[in-house]
């Protein structure tokens, strides 16, 4: 054969063997998935993260705002005297608080960052903005008759904002010349000067109220030796505090949270709760979700820090709730889960959560969180809602499923040119295809349907076990791509060899082979809409993009013969209509080949979407 012609043919064969449409198809599929997630109120910060999201096997979620509504209402203000008695505190009435209870609200108000949005309006019309907990404390203080505007504007000097490591905030009261400390009641109680009996009684009330589902905030105050320069006060050395009491709040479970948790768990991914709240508060919310929680299913931050990595890793399969955890605990837990083979998605909102969000396979920042957390995250929730995480994971699974379909579709016909050209050279047959014919089929016919798989719906992804999506190139994908690709290529070569053996003119045989080659890959595109379900079990034409792409490719295939100048450029020969029957049979044979392969995989259990 002429060297130049063989050079052109070898280049064309290489082009045909390499699925050049795959990078484009991947980009379209990922971009479409990211767009769908955005419509669910989740913003992906990179295309590749959409695929990783679909592989998630474990979700580490916060409680407040994600599983709950972050609409905290104050349900009780309890003084130290009330809590120190071995009896239940009196019924809460915001309109009829005692002076000590109002003092608790006043000191709590000093340590909040809540802002009155419309302070020039009448007090009854005020709107408080800020963190839900702080805003509701300010709202309760206002309702109880505390002079909110005076406290927040004239008396307050913020010394240390709340952080999840210390679990309290500190402010200075210019009026009383004392420190106001607001935070975790057990932490403040341990820092306060109380008797043993008072400590036991207050601790008992804390446990009982948290077990009932309340979120508890302790209030204490400290003495300042000198207020000449308040900014120089060392907040890490507060000394013994005076414990004032506890504010109880209730944050209801989101109505959709229970169903969302059930939805993701039935699809094979696990969910664990990490929270800075007390163990009893977290357990109460977990039981509302429907989890069966025992002491063995819970760990506190203090308990976590007593284990080494090996001991903690052995406990992880049993644990559903991690309470009183710090950002450092979150980072450690995430890495241990990853070491166990889990693909971890984790939520966070604070500045200190950034390292853990980076370490997780998918970091998820809630919309009300810090900018640092959002910058470190892969997914940002515009609404602090667990439902968005569930929908985003399902979209990620759809991305993986569609990538698999595009890959199998493109690779299943990428060996055709190699077998045809290679087989013809080995058996000394006339070359079956020209370089321009190969290029025409690959660029203008076979590539369009691959892009259309980005728009496959895949409604069953939420019902498929999460482990199915741990890898794009699983055994099923490899077997379908290689098995079908090899079998169809061998059959295509045998068809060409057989036509020549029975005396069909080589020009006619080449033309028939060209149309068999260019049309069967369009027909099997419908079989690859699912890589495990039989073709008759789903709607063939619900993907309008696929329908349009196949229609365009079909028109191009027909035009390559019907348009005489184009037919001459492609080197096609006139054939009679009787050959259409052979082309139709070839298409049916290939569809049967794909469906048989899927049937075998179903029998062996190697199935996925």
Adjacency order of strands within the sheet including 73-79: 73-79, 242-250, 215-223, 178-183, 168-173, 156-160
Whole-angstrom distance, CA of residue 539 vs CA of residue 529: 9
Instruction: Render 327-340 in DSSP notation, one character per residue.
Output: HHHHHHHHHHHHHT
Of 13, 11, 31, 29, nearest to 21 by C-alpha is: 29
Whole-angstrom distance, CA of residue 241 vs CA of residue 262: 44
Other Cβ atoms less than 10 A from the Cβ of 540: the count is: 13
What DSSP character marks residue 125?
G
| HSE-CB for 442 with a 13 A CA cutoff | 27
Spatial contact of 76 and 364, defined as CB atoms under 8 Å apart: no
DSSP E strand boundaries for 80-234 = 115-116, 128-129, 156-160, 168-173, 178-183, 215-223
Whole-angstrom distance, CA of residue 598 vs CA of residue 530: 9
Q: Name the one residue in this structure whose structure tokens are 């959409």.
A: 50
Whole-angstrom distance, CA of residue 492 vs CA of residue 520: 10
Question: Over 369-412, what HEC string results?
Answer: CCHHHHHHCCEEECCCCHHHHHHHHHHHHHHHHHHHHHHHHHHH
Read off φ and ψ for residue 230, nearest 5 degrees: -60, -35
- Catalytic residue at 383? no
Of 58, 34, 59, nearest to 46 by C-alpha is: 34
Based on C-alpha coordinates, what's the Rg of the chain? 34
What DSSP character marks residue 450?
H
Catalytic, out of 62, 251, 378, 416: 62
| HSE-CB for 489 with a 13 A CA cutoff | 22
Read off φ and ψ for residue 91, nearest 5 degrees: -65, 135
Q: Name the one residue in this structure whose structure tokens are 């948790």.
A: 261
DSSP E strand boundaries for 68-199 = 73-79, 115-116, 128-129, 156-160, 168-173, 178-183
Tell me the catalytic residues.
62
């Amino acid at each position: 054969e002429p060297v130049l012609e063989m050079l052109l043919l070898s280049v064309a064969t290489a082009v045909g063997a390499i699925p050049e449409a795959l990078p484009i198809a991947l980009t379209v599929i990922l971009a479409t998935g990211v767009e769908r997630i955005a419509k669910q109120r989740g913003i992906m910060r990179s295309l590749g993260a959409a695929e990783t999201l679909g592989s998630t096997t474990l979700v580490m979620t916060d409680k407040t705002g994600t599983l709950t509504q972050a609409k905290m209402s104050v349900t009780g203000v309890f003084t130290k005297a009330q809590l120190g008695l071995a009896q239940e505190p009196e019924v809460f009435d915001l309109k009829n608080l005692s002076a000590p209870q109002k003092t608790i609200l006043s000191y709590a108000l000093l340590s909040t960052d809540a802002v009155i949005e419309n302070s020039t309006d009448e007090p009854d019309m005020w709107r408080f903005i800020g963190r839900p907990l702080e805003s509701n404390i300010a709202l309760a203080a206002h309702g109880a008759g505390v002079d909110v505007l005076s406290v927040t504007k004239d008396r307050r000097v913020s010394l240390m904002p709340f952080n999840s490591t210390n679990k309290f905030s500190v402010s200075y009261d210019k009026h009383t010349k004392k420190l106001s400390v607001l935070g975790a009641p057990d932490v403040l109680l341990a820092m306060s000067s109380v008797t043993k009996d008072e400590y036991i009684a207050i601790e008992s009330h804390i446990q009982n109220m948290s077990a009932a589902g309340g979120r508890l905030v302790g209030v204490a105050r400290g003495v300042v030796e000198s207020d000449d320069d308040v900014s120089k006060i060392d907040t890490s050395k507060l000394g013994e505090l005076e414990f004032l009491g506890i504010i109880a709040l209730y944050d209801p479970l989101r109505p959709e949270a229970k169903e969302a948790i059930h939805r993701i768990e039935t699809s094979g991914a696990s969910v664990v709760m990490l929270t800075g709240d007390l163990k009893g508060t977290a357990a109460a919310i977990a039981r509302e979700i429907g989890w069966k929680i025992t002491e063995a299913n819970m760990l506190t931050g203090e308990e976590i820090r007593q284990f080494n990595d090996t001991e903690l890793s052995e406990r992880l399969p049993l644990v559903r709730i991690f309470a009183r955890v710090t950002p450092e605990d979150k980072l450690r837990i995430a890495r241990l889960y990853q070491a166990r083979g889990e693909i971890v998605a984790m939520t966070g909102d604070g500045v200190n959560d950034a390292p853990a969000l980076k370490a997780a396979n998918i970091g998820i920042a809630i919309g009300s969180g810090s900018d640092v957390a959002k910058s470190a995250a892969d997914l940002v929730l515009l609404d602090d809602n667990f439902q968005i995480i569930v929908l985003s994971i399902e979209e990620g699974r759809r991305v993986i499923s569609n990538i698999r379909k595009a890959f199998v579709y493109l690779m299943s016909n990428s060996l055709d040119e190699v077998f045809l050209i290679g087989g013809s050279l080995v058996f000394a047959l006339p070359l079956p295809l020209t370089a321009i014919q190969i290029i025409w089929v690959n660029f203008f016919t076979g590539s369009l349907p691959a892009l259309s798989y980005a728009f496959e719906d895949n409604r069953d992804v939420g019902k498929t076990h999460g482990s199915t999506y741990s890898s794009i190139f699983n055994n099923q994908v490899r077997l379908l791509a290689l098995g079908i690709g090899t079998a169809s290529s061998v059959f295509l070569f045998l068809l060409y060899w057989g036509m020549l053996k029975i005396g069909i003119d080589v020009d006619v045989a080449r033309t028939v082979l060209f149309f068999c080659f260019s049309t069967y890959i369009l027909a099997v595109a419908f079989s690859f809409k699912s890589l495990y379900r039989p073709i008759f079990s789903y709607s063939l034409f619900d993907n309008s993009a696929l329908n349009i792409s196949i229609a365009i490719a079909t028109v191009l295939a027909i035009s390559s013969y019907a348009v005489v100048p184009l037919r001459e450029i492609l080197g096609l020969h006139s054939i009679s209509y009787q050959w259409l029957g052979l082309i139709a049979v070839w298409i049916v044979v290939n569809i049967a080949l794909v469906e048989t392969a899927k049937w075998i995989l179903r029998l062996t259990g190697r199935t996925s979407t």
